[in-house]
Structure 1
Amino acid sequence: MSGAKLRLPLRALIAALAAVLLISGCSSSSERPRDEPAEAVAKVSFQPGTGAKEVSPTARIGASVQRGAFDSIELRNPDGEAVEGQLAADGKSWRATEALGYGKTYSWSGRATGEDGKPVEVRGSFRTVEPDRTIHATINPTDDAVVGVAMPISIKFDEPVEDRAAVQRALHVRADAPVEGSWAWLNDRQVDYRPKEYWPARTHVTVEADLHGLALGGGAYGQADLSTGFDIGRSQIVKGDVRTHRMVVVRDGEQVASYAASYGKEDDPGRNTPNGTYMIMAKHPVEIMDNPEYHYRNVRKTWAARFSNHGEFIHENQDNAAALGAVNNTHGCINLSAADAKAYFDSALIGDPVEITGSAASMPPRFDVYDWLLTWDQWQGKSAL
């Protein structure tokens, strides 16, 4: 009897322990982790990526959101000024509409809401390139100018340009009449555009030079964009055959004047009026002329139209009246009477062509404006593309 009494409590104890273990095991397997918030479905991306450096100021700058739309978005410069931009109609993308500055950090801010109704903050930044130096450029003709049919477009830089091909790719010329033309580098600081033939008369021309943000080589970048819009006037061409002692003016295909003239002295190479196609570069009612080699200084002449930086003008020389129409005895200029010089001066535009023929010498293409002294093949050979 005593043995049976000892076994009964043991069975009860084992059963109790088993129950405890069963309860403990069931409790452990049924416990769930605390719920975490589901991630918002909207995803914002940037161009360039946030944290980007050495970004071109003219690179495509924008932001977009997937599975959502922007409630607000801004890009600000270090001074807190907002960059101009445009939000798409569907609110899913934004792009900058202005060029950025050099060496600046730009920061994004705003908010987007996803398809799940959950907000996403817009945050990020990038930095634009810091040039070693910037190169300034100018363009001619200037806005609203009216010029002659031989006028080139000229862009001049204040430092030499290494990547000339990059510059040419950033230059755009549009004319409202069909024109075949080309850019040519006259030196490492100047690129000119001229048509194969003279510009069509009464043509409007626009030029855009997208230089801001453009890498010019050697760590240099373009300082600013340039643009101009100008008009080609009537066609007026000076025909100067030195053998005739006349200066003929042809306007819109018709001869309108034939002036008695004296050209450069033929038997002195230093005094020839050289063959070549030039253009009127400048006009001055009074010009003071010097040529120490030929022993004259401070000579005052009127109605002077310069057509070469070598020193040639069309101008009045009443003191040489006896030679006009008869003898070539000047120092290279085209002498006219006072009345004829004024008549021509008043009719001339900057950029009008002057065609000299019949001379004993030709002008070498090395002075400041020699665009029309080159053949078309020679001109195209100076392109960087």
Structure 2
Amino acid sequence: MIERRSVFKAALAAGAAALVAACSGSNDGTALPQGGSGEDGGEPVAPVAKITATPAVDAKDANVREPVVVKVTEGKLTEVAVTNPEGEAVKGDLAADGLSWTSSEQLGYGKTYTYAAKATGTDNRPAELKGSFQTIAPAKKLRATLNPADNAHVGVAMPISVKFPDGPPKDRAAVEKALKVTTDSDVEGSWGWISASQVDWRPKEYWPENTTVSVEANLYGVDLGNGAYGRSDVTTKFKIGRNQVVKVNTPDHVMKVYRGGSEHKSYPCSNGLDSDVDRNTPNGTFIVMSKEPTARFDNARYGYTNVNKKWACRISNHGEYIHENQDNAAAIGKTNNSHGCVNLLDADAKDFYDSALVGDPVEVTGSRLPSPTSSDVKDWFYDWPTWKGLSANK
């Protein structure tokens, strides 16, 4: 948080009366008179100007997302300073009419801020506001991460993911209300909680190609429940690429790649062993999660470790990849005998690898094995009504 000194002063009107009435702040943030006397020597004469502030003087647990506002009635503000514990002024602006001052930077958690405001009333008498207030001090601050990252170029099935690595927020509805997705074309979508610590946004259908997407997670100062508040705001802006969809019907031993709805490439493949359901390539709509020029495969259950394969595109945290397996060339295009991955010949694997974007959909059908719920990228395993039901704001 950057705090800057910002104090404004305005000259009092020429010819003002020389009478001075000092003031101090009341508990409701209102300037009150102190000293001075009436013309007949009786009770002190109060200035007509009345200064108020939000948060009020002596306020506790002030909301750090709300601006500080100082206002005056029956007069104009001549000086306003709101200072932090280090004595630095909070940045703010005086309205053109001189009737209010509003801060323009976020406040910090668990801090005491001090007011010093002056005004000149319509009676040409000075009024003053002094005092302080305290902001909320969270019991815990939850950090959020946002994916895709800034300037990412991703496929048409890419979900937006907000994760809370410090622990799950209790108030899921409050989280969703703080999230905003903006696109340069109309796209219907919804948030859905994949786990207690992860909420994703996906479109109803695949993203329109070449869509620009901006995401705001305005979580700083948001009460997330159980004394936890958002640590900071997070934003990202990314681009959807061309429409490329991979389709594998496992009994066909062919992996087809579609561009813009038309078949673009076709590669012979070998998928998970048909006779062992546990080794089937599971059904479902996956996405390309990552690309690795070389990946190491270990599966002690089936007797192999430290097996390196090239041009590997991960499609599931359940263990499935699309990758080169030249050692299995005799089976590729003829029979399914892998341990769940989609095996391609070396040249085909390289060609596909070069064409793939993280976020490209991979649609697998024809298997006896259902979609793996253990994968943390399972947004497209749900039909649309079910997905919307995963939102906290139904």
Q: Distance in 1 between matches of 2:88 and 2:347?
A: 62
Q: Distance in 1 between matches of 2:279 and 2:45?
A: 91
Q: Displacement, 1:58?
A: 0.8
Task: Tell me which residue corresponds to 1:112.
Answer: 119
Task: Tell me which residue corresponds to 1:379.
Answer: 387
> What are the superposed Cα offsets for residues 112-159 of structure 1, whole Å, 9 maximum, x if unpaired?
111121122231211001111111110001111111111000000021
Q: Displacement, 1:40?
A: 1.1
Task: Tell me which residue corresponds to 2:12.
Answer: none
1:227 is the counterpart of 2:244: no
Q: Which moved more, 1:278-287 or 1:89-98?
A: 89-98
For the residue of structure 2 that corresponds to 1:224, the secondary structure is coil
Alignment of 1:203-282 (within 5 A): 203-282=211-290
For the residue of structure 2 that corresponds to 1:311, the secondary structure is coil
Q: Distance in 2 between matches of 1:209 and 1:62?
A: 25
For the residue of structure 1 that corresponds to 2:307, the secondary structure is strand
Runs (4+) of structure 1 moved beyond 6 Å? Answer: none
Gapped regions of structure 1 (runs ≥ 5): 1-31
Task: Tell me which residue corresponds to 1:330.
Answer: 338
Q: Distance in 2 between matches of 1:381 and 1:78?
A: 46
Structure 2: which amino acid aligns with 1:197?
E
Q: Distance in 2 between matches of 1:242 and 1:161?
A: 40
1:302 is the counterpart of 2:296: no
TM-score, normalised relative to structure 2: 0.88
State whether residues 238 and 353 of structure 1, in contact with CA within 8 Å, keep that contact through their aligned partners in structure 2.
yes
TM-score, normalised relative to structure 1: 0.90
Task: Tell me which residue corresponds to 2:292.
Answer: 284
State whether residues 73 and 122 of structure 1, in contact with CA within 8 Å, keep that contact through their aligned partners in structure 2.
no
Q: Displacement, 1:244?
A: 1.2
Q: Distance in 1 between matches of 2:125 and 2:265?
A: 82
Alignment of 1:177-188 (within 5 A): 177-188=185-196
Alignment counterpart, residue 347 of structure 1, candidates 355, 364, 371: 355
For the residue of structure 1 that corresponds to 2:133, the secondary structure is strand
Q: Distance in 2 between matches of 1:319 and 1:245?
A: 17
Q: Displacement, 1:38?
A: 3.0
Q: Displacement, 1:380?
A: 1.1
Q: Distance in 1 between matches of 2:51 and 2:228?
A: 34
Task: Tell me which residue corresponds to 1:200.
Answer: 208
Q: Displacement, 1:49?
A: 1.1
Q: Displacement, 1:378?
A: 1.4
Q: Displacement, 1:37?
A: 5.6
1:45 is the counterpart of 2:58: no
1:75 is the counterpart of 2:82: yes
Alignment counterpart, residue 159 of structure 2, candidates 135, 152, 157: 152
Structure 1: which amino acid aligns with 2:142?
I
Task: Tell me which residue corresponds to 1:18.
Answer: none
Higher helix share: 1
1:369 is the counterpart of 2:377: yes
Task: Tell me which residue corresponds to 2:143.
Answer: 136
State whether residues 172 and 207 of structure 1, in contact with CA within 8 Å, keep that contact through their aligned partners in structure 2.
yes
Alignment counterpart, residue 101 of structure 1, candidates 103, 108, 118: 108
Q: Distance in 2 between matches of 1:81 and 1:236?
A: 54
Q: Displacement, 1:109?
A: 1.4
Q: Pairwise CA RMSD of aligned residues?
A: 1.3
Q: Distance in 1 between matches of 2:302 and 2:93?
A: 67
Task: Tell me which residue corresponds to 2:184.
Answer: 176
> What are the superposed Cα offsets for residues 333-385 of structure 1, whole Å, 9 maximum, x if unpaired?
00111111011001111100000011122213332111111111211111111
State whether residues 278 and 369 of structure 2, in contact with CA within 8 Å, keep that contact through their aligned partners in structure 1.
no
Q: Which moved more, 1:34-43 or 1:365-374?
A: 34-43
Q: Distance in 2 between matches of 1:252 and 1:243?
A: 25
Task: Tell me which residue corresponds to 1:91.
Answer: 98
> What are the superposed Cα offsets for residues 37-59 of structure 1, whole Å, 9 maximum, x if unpaired?
63211110011211100111112
Structure 2: which amino acid aligns with 1:84?
K
Gapped regions of structure 2 (runs ≥ 5): 1-38
Q: Distance in 2 between matches of 1:267 and 1:44?
A: 81
Structure 2: which amino acid aligns with 1:78?
P
State whether residues 308 and 369 of structure 1, in contact with CA within 8 Å, keep that contact through their aligned partners in structure 2.
yes
Task: Tell me which residue corresponds to 1:9.
Answer: none
Q: Distance in 2 between matches of 1:75 and 1:349?
A: 50
Q: Distance in 1 between matches of 2:81 and 2:154?
A: 45
Structure 2: which amino acid aligns with 1:353?
P
For the residue of structure 1 that corresponds to 2:390, the secondary structure is coil
Q: Displacement, 1:35?
A: 5.9
Q: Distance in 2 between matches of 1:98 and 1:189?
A: 29
State whether residues 74 and 110 of structure 1, in contact with CA within 8 Å, keep that contact through their aligned partners in structure 2.
yes
Q: Distance in 1 between matches of 2:285 and 2:41?
A: 90
Q: Which moved more, 1:260-269 or 1:106-115?
A: 106-115
Structure 2: which amino acid aligns with 1:45?
T
> What are the superposed Cα offsets for residues 189-238 of structure 1, whole Å, 9 maximum, x if unpaired?
11110011111100001111111111111111110011111110111110
Identity %: 53
